[in-house]
Chain A
Amino acid sequence: MKAAAGDYEAVMARRNATMLSALGLDYAPFLENPVAFDYEALMGQVAYDLDEVRAIQARHGVGNTALIELKQISALARRLAPPGKGARIFVKDEAANPSGSYKARRASCSIHHAAAAGFRGAVAATSGNYGAAVASQCAMHGLDCVVVQEVFDSLGVGQPEILEKGRACEIYGAEVLQLSVGPELFYQFLRVLEETGYFNASLYTPYAIAGVEPLGVEIVEQMQAATGASPDVVICTHAGGGNLTGTARGLIKAGATDTRVVAASVDLTGLHMASDRDFNMKYFTTGHTGFGIPFAGWPDRTDVPRNAARALRYMDRYLLLKQGEVFYMTEALARLEGLERGPAGNVSLAAALALAQEMDQDQTIVVQETEYAGAGKQPSAQLSFARSRGIDIRRGDTEEEVPGRSVIIPDHPSRIRVRDMDLNRVRHSLIRKAAANVPQGSTLSDEDITFLAEETRSDEAFVRQSLATESPSR
């Protein structure tokens, strides 16, 4: 399996051709200009409208999950909040999807399309719940599935949640290639695509994002039924951006244009994503700032030529949580609401507890996902692993938590606070990077400026001001 001399460079050089033949989508119209492209036209490549996507998903047991009001956690928020404050908190129980997470939505539309287009199998590069989702959907369609995962450090140690995610792929019949730490996983992924001719079940195609849109639509329908109105806030655990993008697009399609969309990530500042040493110091495998900030600031860093997940277009706020706070809320969800669920949605749940205290009692928040709980996924598994590696786990003030050194379980629920990531910083970063993509000797066009305003959920004046500040030479 070792790379032949020069093979690495050769395979990487063929990357665009390989990806294109493995997608059945023509990205050429969206690559004509280095900056601006028609994002809605890219999403329009999906051959199915919203109702057809919902019908496809319903036939495969995907979606239509329960919306549950978290009355005890809402009461806790009111207990902590100033008088009159404390919004009602609801959760969308996405653990009920076939593979145990909302990722089944993201896989279902893609795999349906792969089967319809005549592919015999699909390949996914993912260490998350998406692997199991693709494997499960492939099993339903009778397609082969290969999952390429980043699992182990150089000592062969894998943290329990990642091991569980690998096991889940195997149970659905996938061939699982378990790699050690490093971004060159993409090279192995390309080799498998070349060898097999299978479909590239990327997380970031228009099909993957269109598959999430019904989640936003269901939230509006179910909140209308439960409360008579669309929710005031929907919180999405944010990593690569597809969860937030698809949900927000669904909210808009269902007419909930006033609903504010809030991202939430675990703060893992200081840990390097490609570091063999830091790999097993992260007690969340996703939904953290190591993915969330770079993907919000520059979406086109994936296995497709143009990423359909463009979270900054839809993000009203971005809240950061500490690892210990999310473990605490996972305990709260079990003890107060009788729901044992896996880690991902509980990042948003911790954000909801804090944000609810800023909002009025007649307002509502929806935490838009849960995931299944199984061996490896519980705080007991992750924190036992952390403790065995010398991480300091204690009660206290979560502000003192240092990723890689400590996990601090709040000594009181009031420790969980709203901490806003400065979105203008993220916006400036995206604009600066786009400007750097313009070929030498030319400048950003008016079309590019309009595009960047949309990309950053800002306006043209903001973009022009950002360019003037960040790169005075242009």
Chain B
Amino acid sequence: MNSHAGDWVRIHAIILEAGERAPAVPDETQAVPLEVRVKGWQVAPASAQPGDRVEIRTVLGRRYTGSLEAINPPYGHDFGAAIPELLEAGQELRDLLADTRGDKT
């Protein structure tokens, strides 16, 4: 899907290439680039596809250029699913305290 000037988009860019990383980082980090992602309003070009070079204006009015990654990407993180091991643990704790108080369960 194409994005258009005025759309809220996320771009991606490389800050440091693999192999140009700080000397102290472990090998697995040294082997990959340092990347940045930032969101803003697409300024140019008028129409672009993912991977195209675009310029954006951030919420503060600052300009960045990078490759178009997504149009208004969802945050995506959520609550996950209930954890049965914790549900059990919670019930055990309730029972333990009820037992301590001498409640009828």
Q: Please report A residues at the B interface, Cβ cutoff 8 Å.
A: 1-3, 8, 72, 75-76, 79, 121, 144-146, 151-152, 154, 158, 160, 163-164, 167, 170, 173-184, 187-188, 195-196, 272, 274-277, 327-328, 331-332, 334-336, 375-376, 378-385, 393-395, 409-410, 412-413
Which of these, B36, B60, B78, B79, contacts A144 with CB under 8 Å? B60
Q: What are 25 residue pairs bridging A and B, where the CB atoms are less than 8 Å apart in the complex? A: A1-B36, A3-B16, A76-B93, A152-B35, A160-B77, A170-B39, A175-B38, A175-B59, A176-B38, A179-B15, A179-B37, A180-B35, A180-B36, A183-B24, A184-B25, A184-B34, A187-B15, A275-B28, A332-B93, A336-B94, A375-B78, A380-B81, A395-B88, A410-B89, A413-B96
Contact present for B90 and A79 (CB under 8 Å): no
Closest 6 CB pairs of A and B: A384-B80, A335-B90, A154-B32, A1-B13, A163-B77, A381-B80
Which residues of B from 19 to 71 have beta carbons under 8 Å from A?
20-22, 24-26, 28-29, 31-40, 58-60, 62, 64-66
Cβ of B1 under 8 Å from chain A? no
Contacting residue for B26 out of A75, A187, A275, A328, CB 8 A? A275
Residues of B within 8 A of A181 (CB): 29
Q: Which residues of B contact A167 (CB under 8 A)?
A: 75, 77
B36, B39, B75, B83: the one contacting A393 at CB < 8 Å is: B83
Closest to A174 in B: B59
- Whether A336 contacts B81 by the Cβ 8 Å rule is no
Which residues of A are found within 8 Å of B78, using beta-carbon distances? 160, 375-376, 381
- CB pair A381–B15 under 8 Å, yes or no, is no
Contacts of B89 in A (CB 8 A): 328, 331-332, 395, 409-410
* Cα of A182 to Cα of B14 in the assembled complex, Å: 13
- Distance (whole angstroms) from the CB of A398 to the closest CB of chain B: 12
CB distance from A376 to the nearest CB of B (A): 4
Alpha-carbon distance between A165 and B62 when the two chains are bound, in angstroms: 22
Pairwise interchain contact A184-B22, C-beta atoms closer than 8 A: yes
Q: CB < 8 Å: which of A187, A334, A380 contacts B80?
A: A380
* Given A276-B28, A331-B90, A380:B20 Cβ within 8 A: no
CB distance from B32 to the nearest CB of A (A): 4
Please judge, given known A-B contacts A1-B15, A179-B35, A275-B29, whether A76 and B96 are in contact too, CB under 8 Å: yes
Since A174-B59, A177-B36 are in contact, a sample of 15 more A-B pairs with Cβ atoms closer than 8 Å, ordered by chain A residue number, is A1-B14, A146-B60, A154-B32, A188-B15, A274-B24, A274-B25, A275-B29, A277-B28, A327-B86, A332-B89, A380-B83, A382-B80, A393-B83, A395-B89, A413-B93
From the candidates B25, B62, B92, name the one contacting A182 in the complex (CB within 8 A): B25
**A419 CA / B21 CA spacing, docked (Å):** 37
Interface residues of B (CB under 8 A from A): 13-17, 20-22, 24-26, 28-29, 31-40, 58-60, 62, 64-66, 75-83, 85-86, 88-94, 96-97, 100-101
Q: Which residues of B contact A144 (CB under 8 A)?
A: 60
Of B20, B38, B82, B100, the contact of A178 (CB 8 Å cutoff): B38
* Chain A residues in 8 Å Cβ range of B60: 121, 144-146, 175
CA distance A381 to B35 in the complex (A): 25
B17 contacts which chain A residues (CB < 8 A)? Answer: 2
Residues on A with C-beta less than 8 A from B25 are 182-184, 274
Q: How far is the CB of A220 from chain B (nearest CB, A)?
A: 30
**CB neighbours of A187 from chain B (8 A):** 15-16
| B-side contacts of A334, CB under 8 Å | 90
Closest to A273 in B: B26
Q: Which residues of B contact A152 (CB under 8 A)?
A: 35, 37
B20 lies within 8 A of A8 (CB): yes
Residue of A nearest to B69 (CB): A156
- Contact at A383–B36, with CB atoms within 8 Å? no
- With A and B bound together, what is the CA distance between A334 and B36 in angstroms? 37
Chain A residue nearest in CB terms to B88: A395
**Residue A163 contacts which of B35, B76, B88 (CB distance < 8 angstroms)?**
B76
**A145–B58 Cα gap in the complex (Å)?**
11
A184 touches B83 (CB 8 A): no
Q: How long is the Cα–Cα vector from A163 to B86 in the complex, in angstroms? A: 23
Query: Does the CB pair A79–B96 fall under 8 Å?
Result: yes
Shortest CB distance A181–B (Å): 6
CB contacts (< 8 Å) of B77 on chain A: these are 158, 160, 163-164, 167, 375-376, 381
Is A380 a contact partner of B79 (Cβ separation < 8 A)? yes
By beta carbon, the residue of chain B nearest A275 is B26
Residues of B within 8 A of A196 (CB): 62
